Structure 1
Amino acid sequence: MVGVEFFGNFDLASAAIWLFWIFFAGLVIYLQTENMREGYPLRDDDDDVPANESLWPIPKEKTFHLRDGRGELTVPSKEYEDSKMRTDLALARSSEASGSPWVPTGDPMKDGVGPASWAPRRDIAELDAHGHAKIKPMSTLEDFKVSAGRDPRGKAVVGGDGEVVGRVTDMWVDVPEQMVRYLTVDLNPEGTGKTRLIPMTMAKIGTDRVTVRSLHAHNWDGVPATKNGDEVTLLEEDKITAYYAGGTLYASPERSQTVL
């Protein structure tokens, strides 16, 4: 009989568990190789490929057709990785030992290194499911209003040194998420339109002011500006948030000193 002669010494439970482990191992290998489509091959401190880069080879090229007519993207691709590589970083090695810290050689806030570093993302706005820019000024959105909490518009903006640097004139909303992402600050007391964006996560809204502790008065002119008054690109977002984050260490020389 088939059931006795073929399956007589065959353990179905053992076969099931082994099939599961084989499938799971294959899944892990597949996910790891797919994860290597961007950022590879890796580079060490001497700009060489490290010997322990990965257990698995870099996957074959795959071309993705981007939505909303934004072309194609092939990864992994040497041309794509080279286009994202920043080779003008104002950094110097603090020691010849591998893994030693790199120290800024210029103005780290402007050079975009260390805590102020940013990634060369695409210089286009992030889109929602309908192909429209996700983040827009509230002044252009008739259906949005402040329904809870303090409205920061009209309040003075104060830096970490206690100096008043401007006044909030608008809020930028992530339309699909219905969240405030940025505040617009006019740095000119006369309100002549010298504006910058403040990441909402870096601002503390009080009863009479908006406090941004990461920057001092002399840092605000250096905040990256947007090229469009009612749109912010992915690259601009990265540069703006990196600048504010970098201020927590680089806004003044005292902040970067050792604290005991």
Structure 2
Amino acid sequence: MVGVTFFGDFDLASAAIWLFWIFFAGLVYYLQTENMREGYPLRDDDDGVPANESLFPLPKEKTFKLRDGRGELTVPSREYEDSKMRDGLALAQSSVSTGSPWIPTGDPMVDGVGPASWAPRRDEPELDAHGHVKIKPMSGLEDFKVSAGRDPRGKPVVGRDGEVVGRITDMWVDVPEQLVRFLTVDLNPEGTGKTRLIPMTMAVIKQNRVVVRSLMENNWENVPTIKSPDQVTLLEEEKIMAYYAGGTLYAS
């Protein structure tokens, strides 16, 4: 009809505003559900799904193909939904009230609970951008040398109680970062290869010794070991660092 526009009296400005709000609400919903791919499903003190897990439902499982031929990863993972994750842990709840502290019932440093707890990371070494192992012992790296600070190799290692427990024999370097990550300590005075790794962040290198304040003489035997002499896996790193961190509270 002549003189009548296609939209007539339709309010385009109002429609644009409403479309924006609908889009924004959908974006918030999408981002919130995607944010729940890590750390979910949640667990309560009884290892069950809490009643107030979230206002939003868990997203559908998504599978990622990992680089360097390391398989696939599906998140969020529902493989543990029907299992009791706390079965076998040496912990006892201090009270029936939700949120009450859990008390270790054994040796927490060995059991891996409390401050000494660790996450089940992949039992494979960390790789750099080129697919090469990142952390390697310095004894096998011809291009690396100590250019600043004190070289800890050859120095005795003492714990919080001041007792000598061994001697530093090597340093482990994050090759692409050019950063020392671990020290190797030989616990046998004769140097027969009874070695453990010390996280560099837990060691203080002094003029005539290396001090590790989180452990005492009787704790060194139980430091988690590594299965390969020239590489350390992500899981092994996790357990080693958790053991030293737990010693800050539990070693005495």
Give the drift of 1:149: 1.0
For residues 152 and 92 of structure 1, what CA distance do their matches in structure 2 show? Answer: 41
Q: Which residue of 2 aligns with 1:243?
A: 243
What are the superposed Cα offsets for residues 158-216 of structure 1, whole Å, 9 maximum, x if unpaired? 10111111111111111111111101111111111111000011011111111100000
TM-score (norm 1): 0.87
Asked if the contact 2:41/2:76 (under 8 Å) is kept, the reply is no
Give the drift of 1:24: 5.2
Q: Which residue of 2 aligns with 1:177?
A: 177
* Counterpart residue identity of residue 217, structure 2: A
For residues 219 and 60 of structure 1, what CA distance do their matches in structure 2 show? Answer: 45
Cα distance, 1:82–1:223 mapped onto 2, change above 3 Å: farther
* Counterpart residue identity of residue 70, structure 1: R
Give the drift of 1:106: 0.5
Cα distance, 1:63–1:207 mapped onto 2, change above 3 Å: same
Does 1:153 pair with 2:153? yes
Give the drift of 1:9: 6.8
* Counterpart residue identity of residue 246, structure 2: G
For residues 33 and 149 of structure 2, what CA distance do their matches in structure 1 show? Answer: 46
Give the drift of 1:86: 5.3
Q: Which residue of 1 aligns with 2:207?
A: 207
What SS does the corresponding residue of 1:147 show, helix, strand or coil? coil
Does 1:194 pair with 2:190? no
TM-score (norm 2): 0.89
Give the drift of 1:6: 7.8
* Counterpart residue identity of residue 133, structure 1: V
* Counterpart residue identity of residue 122, structure 1: R
Asked if the contact 2:47/2:85 (under 8 Å) is kept, the reply is no
For residues 157 and 127 of structure 2, what CA distance do their matches in structure 1 show? Answer: 30
Asked if the contact 2:61/2:76 (under 8 Å) is kept, the reply is yes
Q: Which residue of 2 aligns with 1:39?
A: 39
For residues 217 and 7 of structure 1, what CA distance do their matches in structure 2 show? Answer: 86
Give the drift of 1:231: 0.5
For residues 43 and 102 of structure 2, what CA distance do their matches in structure 1 show? Answer: 15
* Counterpart residue identity of residue 166, structure 2: G
What SS does the corresponding residue of 2:221 show, helix, strand or coil? helix
Q: Which residue of 2 aligns with 1:258?
A: none
* Counterpart residue identity of residue 78, structure 1: R
Q: Which residue of 1 aligns with 2:168?
A: 168
Query: Deviating runs (4+, > 6 A) in structure 1?
Result: 5-9, 80-84
For residues 83 and 178 of structure 1, what CA distance do their matches in structure 2 show? Answer: 42
Asked if the contact 1:74/1:80 (under 8 Å) is kept, the reply is no
Does 1:141 pair with 2:141? yes
Give the drift of 1:78: 2.2
Asked if the contact 2:182/2:200 (under 8 Å) is kept, the reply is yes
Cα distance, 1:69–1:153 mapped onto 2, change above 3 Å: same
Unmatched runs of 5 consecutive residues or more in structure 2: none
Q: Which residue of 2 aligns with 1:98?
A: 98
For residues 100 and 241 of structure 2, what CA distance do their matches in structure 1 show? Answer: 26
